[in-house]
Each structure stands twice: as structure tokens, then as C-alpha cells.
Amino acid sequence: MDYKKKINILLAVGIFFLSTSGILIKVASAPPLITAFYRMFFTVLILTPYFLIKHRADARYFLDYRPLLVGFLLAVHFILWISSIQYTDISNSVIFVALQPLFTIILEYLFAREDLKEGAVIGIVMAVIGSSIISIGDFYQLGDKLFGNFLALSAALFASSYLFIGRGVRKKLNYFPYLYILYTYAALFLAVGVYIFEIPFTGYGTNNYLIFLALALGPTIVGHSILNLAVRYLPTSIVSLSILGEPILTTFLAWLLLSEEIRMTTMFGGAFILGGIYLASVYNNHQNRKKERLQQSES
């Protein structure tokens, strides 16, 4: 099995764990900012021993402004998205967050035009159509859920920004130290937010702390870490497109665990999303193979 297939399998695993975050956040009863903080705090706490043993020399990169900026963007993304679930349905939230490829297209058009491939654009359009189809069943709630939907859409913008900007940093810094520094900065920014808004750091009960720990272990350490690894080897647009599989898995988990209804529109929209993911992945692999053959013929 070559490394590209391994990366694609890892990406699928990462998307699954990311899909559990909406369920965990929905059942938590703590304030959104506290949930976001402890998610990052426990993540850093778990990763610190390995960082100190294996990558202590990389601590100098804490002085680089770029990881600091990306950490800030990640912190804002978590705040906005976790808050959105408090105001709107899980399906609405994950659908609007899944629209982040639209922002990725804009960023790549403005700053990295060479990374924007026609096949990926077509796949993203298909996936966005699928996301829209899924949301049709909830359109009657749009007015009441407008604030939550806006928060989720804003979270999509910050998610695309942190992935896009972080791509350049990851090329110059080893994978694990980059993630550790990124998560540490995100935790610090979230802690500052908790302090500014005078929210207590303690007193949220055992169940909530277990949820915080699960968010750290699953969606963050496994999910987001794999996402950051994949974007190092695949175009940002492809990784963002794959994230569109999250609404399908989250909706299924919500039905299985929370007894939420699965609408027919979700099934039709899911077909579009999966079709878009498949189209973009196949086209990207074809382009890479074509490029490799061209380089081999020239050499």
C-alpha cells in the first residue's frame, strides 16, 4: 500500500472521529467557551509528555508568530462552532460548517491559484449542492435558527483560514511540534476568553469533564491531527472537500445515539456529497499520476 492510499485511509478515520464532536458537544451542559477551552487544555495536557521527551528543542518555534496566528484562528473556530450548536440543530450546524470549501476556493484563488484544480472545483460544487439539499428539510426553521447558522458559517471561514495559513508553516516545521504549539496557543487564547468573560473554570460535574476528555482524545488528537497531516500531502481543497462527509456521519450518529430523525433530503444530499468527494479525489489522483509520468519522461 503506497503512502497516498494510507493518507486517504487516515483521512477517512479522521473524518469519522471529527463526526463525533457534534454529538459530544450537544450533550454537554457547560458554556461553549468552557467546552472549547477544556477540549484544548486536555489535548495539550495529554501531548505534553511526548513533546518534552522527543521535541523539546522545537520549543523555540513558540516565538514564531505564524503558529500563534493559526492557534488564534483555531480557537475562534472552536468558539463559534461550539456556540452554534447551542442555538441551532446539530444538522444545521454541521451543514453550514461543511461549507468551508467555498471559503477555501476564495483563499486559493487569491493566494495560491496553482493549487485550485478544475476537478476539485466541480467536486466542491457538487458537495455544496448536497449540503444545500440536506438543509432543505430545516429551511422552515431558518429564521429562528439564523444566529446559530451564522455562527456555524463564520466557524467555516475560520476553519478554512487556519488550514490554509497553516499549510505554509507545516512545510517548515515537523508535524507533531507544529500541532502541539498550535493547540497550546489555542488553549491559551481560549483561557484568556474564559477569564475576560468571567466564566468559572471549575464546577461543571463529572459528566462534562468526561465529555471534554472525549473531545480531546477523539475529534482533536485523532481527528484534527489527521486532518493536519493529510493537508500536508493533499491540496487544501481536497481535504476541505472530504470534511463534507462529516454531516452524513454526524446525522447518522445523531439518529443512532440521540434518536434524531433522518430526512429523505439528507439521503439525497449525502449522495451528492459523496459523489463530490469521489470526483475530486479521483481527479486529484489522476492529475498527480499524470504529473509524475511527465516528470519521469523529462528526466
Continuous H helices in the chain? 3-19, 21-27, 32-54, 65-87, 90-97, 100-111, 118-136, 146-170, 175-196, 205-215, 225-233, 236-242, 246-258, 264-298
pLDDT at 286: 63
What tens digit of pLDDT does each residue of 150-159 get? 898 899 889 8
CA distances to 234, 286, 288 from 110, in Å: 19, 25, 23
pLDDT at 143 over 60: no
User: How many Cα atoms are found within 13 Å in the side-chain-facing hemisphere of 108?
Assistant: 23
Angle between helices 246-258 and 118-136 (to 10 degrees): 30
Type of residue at 105: I
Confidence (pTM): 0.81
pLDDT at 183 over 90: yes
CA-angle at 286, arms to 284 and 290, nearest 5°:
115
Taking residue 278's Cβ as centre, other Cβ atoms within 10 Å add up to 13
User: How many Cα atoms are found within 13 Å in the side-chain-facing hemisphere of 129?
Assistant: 13
- Rounded Cα gap, residues 271 and 147, in angstroms: 28
What tens digit of pLDDT does each residue of 208-265 get? 999 999 999 999 898 877 877 787 777 666 676 677 778 788 878 888 888 877 777 7
